[in-house]
Structure 1
Amino acid sequence: MDNKNKPKLGISIGDTNGIGPEVVIRTLSDQRILNFCTPVIYASASLLKHVRKALNAEHFQFQEVESAQALVPRKINLISCWENELEVNPGHPTPESGKASLDSLLAASRDLKAGLLDGLVTAPINKDNIQAEDFRFPGHTEFLTSYFDAPESLMLLVSGGLRVATVTGHIPVKEVPARLTEELLIRKMTILLDSLRKDFGILKPRIAVLGLNPHAGEQGLLGREEVEIIRPAVVQMKERGYLVFGPYPADGFFGMRQFQQVDAVLAMYHDQGLIPFKTLAFESGVNYTAGLPIVRTSPDHGTAYDIAAKHIASETSFREALFVACDVVRKRFEAEMPVV
């Protein structure tokens, strides 16, 4: 693939005291990555040199550039986001590591919004210490949805043919039932179906919808949400011609591996979908934000302070996030090309 057509992928460094810098450097130490994309790291030269030395990652080399308008093909590019020397204290979230993660994210997002990048891969942040005047969000997904003026988005976890999305995101479990409405489910199903077609190239996607309550409510005996909200939404989508099925009891659905018969699963809340997903695909899982005008992926793990700087963090999920971003960028580009 020629350099002109390789996706330019921004990489926000995440919390500098977590495993983000480590998995970024481990991933990009394999120079074959440059055959697929042009990586652009948003951090500082001193941080990358510090982590490179700690990892003994002699194959990791980067080119510092002034801006995303001056990227060097076939090189790992670095755009500096802070000037002062950053104290690195692995395993311990600090105000400084939170500010650095935000500076990196904001700089990459600005360049993406300006059309200088083709996609964004975000390393893990600490949702507490990143909070600031210009970041009052529960996480990346909510921030990027707001920043890119998307009406709504959808958290979609991806590992090969396993795809699990969630209707509600980072909210307390006790608030989930009150948030569920027929209209919300229809919007989320629509985003999921559109993304499966546009971003993953599935022409007639099939999605399974999970129930909220044990045994999918047992016809109302264990809860009314399935009868009054979830099933009517599924029926509406079926009447519109979509291949939507459910609601299914969540435990049996995953226990019997019924997810292998559909292209994606829609869970009602965060842990209902992410616990089985991470059990099945923790190291290879990718968090994809569907419904945005831009492409954003991330690894499906957090900052992992407990193993930071112990040199045991796996880069597999981050590498997969990079490749998923490349694939989606190309699929979107191909979809926009005129038919000859």
Structure 2
Amino acid sequence: MDKSEKIIVGISIGDLNGIGIEVILKTFEDKRMLEFCTPVLFGTTKTISYHKKALGIEIPVHGITSITQINHSKINILNIWKEEVAIELGKATKISGDYAAKSLASAVKHLKEDAIDVLITAPINKENIQSDTFNFPGHTEYLEANLEGKSLMILMTDQLRIGLITGHIPIAKVAESITPEVIKSKVETMYTSLKQDFGIDKPKIAVLSLNPHCGDKGVIGEEDDKIIRPTIEEIKETGKLVFGPYAADGFFGSETYKQFDGVLASYHDQGLAPFKALSFGKGVNFTAGLDHIRTSPDHGTGYDIAGKNLANPSSFKEALFTALKIFNTRNEYKELTKNPLVVK
């Protein structure tokens, strides 16, 4: 691949005291990874060097002070702060959260400017990252506020894609948050993403119920019969292949999910608990619906194993390859559909 054609992958380094930098370094220990993309880490060479030394990982890195200085044959580190930063591996500190936010903010700025092609985010601690400039439940909400589009969190492998109708909100607020408008919006976002990001011509989408047993005809709640089912029927009239609501336990227990291109869960743990049971360590978090591509591994900061050289980079590698694949598929879709004579 010509160096000018390589996809530039921006990487926010996440919580400085977690395993994010470790899985990044382990991913690029394999020199062949540089044949697929040009990585740019947003942090400092000193921070990365600290982790390299602590882990005994010896790979060369290229420090730069401007995105224009990228070397397409090396692992680039864009130095975005100069001061010394205290690193305490395995501990949740305010400093590690603050600098995770700095890394993310710089990466997103460069993404918006198209100086990088895709973004991969290493794990953050949702508590210690909070500040006046980061007041969000997580990456997804932050990205939606800073990029164009309506976000949809999708946890995915090659065999399973689960999106969330409601995301990082308390269980007490889930039922009131599931409205026909929200369901339609999330279905539309998933449908569009399955077409443009995954190349699926006629996506088939399943929607999970809110209540156990789909409410048992009102005995365990009326939302499924009064809100979710009528909305699905209305969406079907537009020609989209959308089905449900399905009771989540039977849906996953009987492997019905294998019959669909995408699944929409009513709330966070309804979708993520079975996903991680089926796919942990191989899954990818993809933020669909935005004008730029972001993926991340499906695990957290891993404080308990930070600095011990025990972190498995498999999920981060999958996040990288997924971002590259979606970038190419989306560009192909744009190319195919820009001609007004082409039938979508």
TM-score under structure 1 normalisation?
0.97
Where in structure 2 are the equivalents of 1:288-299 lying within 5 Å? 288-299=286-297
Where in structure 2 are the equivalents of 1:248-259 lying within 5 Å? 248-259=246-257
How many Å separate the matches in 2 of 1:84 and 1:43? 11
SS at match of 1:161: coil
1:211: which partner in 2?
A: 209
Where in structure 2 are the equivalents of 1:304-319 lying within 5 Å? 304-319=302-317
Where in structure 2 are the equivalents of 1:228-239 lying within 5 Å? 228-239=226-237
How many Å separate the matches in 1 of 2:305 and 2:227? 43
1:6: which partner in 2?
A: 6
Match of 1:270 among 251, 268, 271: 268
SS at match of 2:290: coil
How many Å separate the matches in 2 of 1:149 and 1:163? 22
1:192: which partner in 2?
A: 190
1:139: which partner in 2?
A: 138
How many Å separate the matches in 2 of 1:93 and 1:11? 21
Let me know the Cα RMSD of the aligned residues: 1.2
Q: Is the Cα–Cα contact under 8 Å of residues 289 and 296 in structure 1 kept in the other structure? A: yes
Task: Count the aligned residue pairs.
Answer: 338
2:282 counterpart letter in structure 1: S
1:335 counterpart letter in structure 2: Y
Q: Tell whether 2:42 aligns with 1:42.
A: yes
Q: Is the Cα–Cα contact under 8 Å of residues 186 and 237 in structure 1 kept in the other structure? A: yes
2:342: which partner in 1?
A: none
How many Å separate the matches in 2 of 1:332 and 1:253? 30
Shift in Å at residue 337 of structure 1? 2.7
> Could you list the runs of 5+ residues in structure 2 that have no partner in the other structure?
340-344
How many Å separate the matches in 2 of 1:149 and 1:334? 20
Where in structure 2 are the equivalents of 1:2-151 lying within 5 Å? 2-58=2-58, 60-150=59-149
SS at match of 1:240: coil
1:323: which partner in 2?
A: 321
Shift in Å at residue 13 of structure 1? 0.3
How many Å separate the matches in 2 of 1:241 and 1:93? 49
Shift in Å at residue 5 of structure 1? 2.0
Deviation per CA, 1:145-185: give whole Å up to 9, x if none.
000143x2110001112100110010001110010101110
1:156: which partner in 2?
A: 154
Q: Is the Cα–Cα contact under 8 Å of residues 213 and 222 in structure 1 kept in the other structure? A: yes
2:156 counterpart letter in structure 1: V
After TM superposition, the runs of 4+ consecutive aligned structure 1 residues lying more than 4 A away are none
Shift in Å at residue 322 of structure 1? 0.6
Q: Is the Cα–Cα contact under 8 Å of residues 82 and 100 in structure 1 kept in the other structure? A: no
> Could you list the runs of 5+ residues in structure 1 that have no partner in the other structure?
none
1:259 counterpart letter in structure 2: Y
SS at match of 2:9: strand
SS at match of 1:317: helix
How many Å separate the matches in 2 of 1:149 and 1:131? 22
Match of 1:335 among 321, 327, 333: 333
Q: How much identity, in percent, do the aligned residues show? A: 48
